[in-house]
């Protein structure tokens, strides 16, 4: 027997990707609203009330309004930032701990993680939770990302023949240190203070790497690169969609870490580079996969009580 799924915001980048991942599944019946009714609150509410699960792929304010429209008639998965730090909602990153997974499995309301936040939290949560990094460490992170995560308008600009000259180079943004993912990154990494975060949008379609450098001389307790790598390997030993790469020796000197390698895939890779004095943590993922629609489908699978990788591998 199939479950009924409605995607509110099915025409957006994330919504379309979720449709692509679900429309061929025999255990899913996709409810699709007529094009002329996409902004009709009454018609949208009807779809939500009919659905077993509803994805919200909307701007924050619209997502909050949609939750009110839905009431308690459907189980909700919100891909906006509107509810990610709300303690009443499950946070959709089951690999972080058994507690995260259990809350997600039983929840009627799940906040799907952000793309940058997924990479960042995959690195910092284990570091803090396992006592290798203090919660008050002054964390700095930077990230390179494809343009697809910026939405339809940005995609059209990047793919147009007359795109601005500057779009051909990496462009830093969120320079005021007020990126919308920061509250989520701080909370689920277990940090006392918000991290500094430097996102960089680049001229390729999809994929990202989030990097966090650590100067071990600033720590009260000495840690080594091998210790950090072993911790990650143990922490994610049972994870199906998070893979910890072995620690590199001499080969890392000539190694290039591309940001688009996992484009189109639904997994996340963790790397540990550097040495015992300067450790560089990196998480690579597809901003539209494990960073958005892939994560949303993984959350749906867990809420349905089936294998989390269904339709993702």
Q: Both tokens of residue 181?
A: 């993912």
Q: Detail the DSSP E strand segments found in the chain.
A: 3-8, 28-31, 53-56, 75-78, 90-91, 109-111, 140-145, 171-172, 196-201, 208-215, 242-244, 268-274, 278-285
Say which of 115, 202, 282, 299 is annotated catalytic: 115
Q: Is 202 assigned a catalytic role?
A: no
d(CA 77, CA 80): 9
d(CA 193, CA 187): 9
In a 13 Å sphere around the CA of 2, the CA atoms on its Cβ side amount to 14
* DSSP SS3 for 98: helix
d(CA 204, CA 159): 10
Kindly state the DSSP code that residue 113 receives in the 8-state scheme.
P
Q: Which of 210, 192, 199 is nearest to 137 (CA)?
A: 192
Residues that are catalytic: 115
């Amino acid at each position: 027997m199939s479950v009924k799924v409605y995607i509110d915001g099915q025409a957006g980048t994330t919504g379309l990707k979720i449709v692509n991942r679900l429309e061929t599944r025999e255990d899913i019946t996709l409810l699709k609203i007529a094009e002329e009714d996409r902004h009709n609150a009454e018609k949208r509410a009807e779809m939500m009330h009919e659905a077993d699960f509803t994805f919200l792929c909307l701007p924050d304010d619209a997502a909050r309004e949609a939750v009110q429209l839905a009431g308690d008639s459907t189980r909700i998965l919100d891909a906006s930032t509107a509810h990610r730090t709300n303690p009443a909602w499950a946070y959709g990153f089951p690999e972080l701990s058994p507690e995260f997974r259990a809350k997600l499995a039983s929840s009627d309301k799940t906040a799907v993680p952000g793309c940058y936040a997924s990479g960042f939290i995959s690195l910092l949560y284990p570091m803090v939770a396992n006592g290798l990094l203090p919660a008050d460490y002054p964390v700095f992170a930077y990230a390179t990302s494809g343009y697809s995560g910026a939405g339809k308008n940005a995609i059209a600009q990047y793919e147009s023949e007359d795109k601005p000259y500057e779009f051909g180079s990496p462009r830093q943004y969120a320079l005021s240190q007020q990126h919308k993912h920061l509250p989520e990154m701080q909370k689920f990494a277990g940090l006392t203070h918000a991290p500094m975060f430097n996102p960089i949008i680049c001229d390729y379609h999809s994929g990202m790497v989030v990097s966090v450098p650590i100067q071990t001389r600033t720590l009260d307790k000495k840690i080594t690169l091998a210790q950090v790598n072993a911790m990650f390997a143990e922490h994610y030993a049972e994870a199906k969609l998070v893979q910890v790469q072995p620690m590199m020796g001499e080969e890392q000197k000539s190694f290039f870490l591309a940001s688009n390698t996992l484009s189109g895939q639904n997994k996340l890779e963790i790397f540990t580079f550097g040495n015992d004095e300067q450790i560089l943590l990196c998480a690579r993922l597809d901003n539209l996969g494990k960073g958005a629609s892939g994560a949303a489908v993984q959350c749906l699978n867990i809420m349905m009580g089936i294998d989390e990788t269904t339709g993702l591998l």
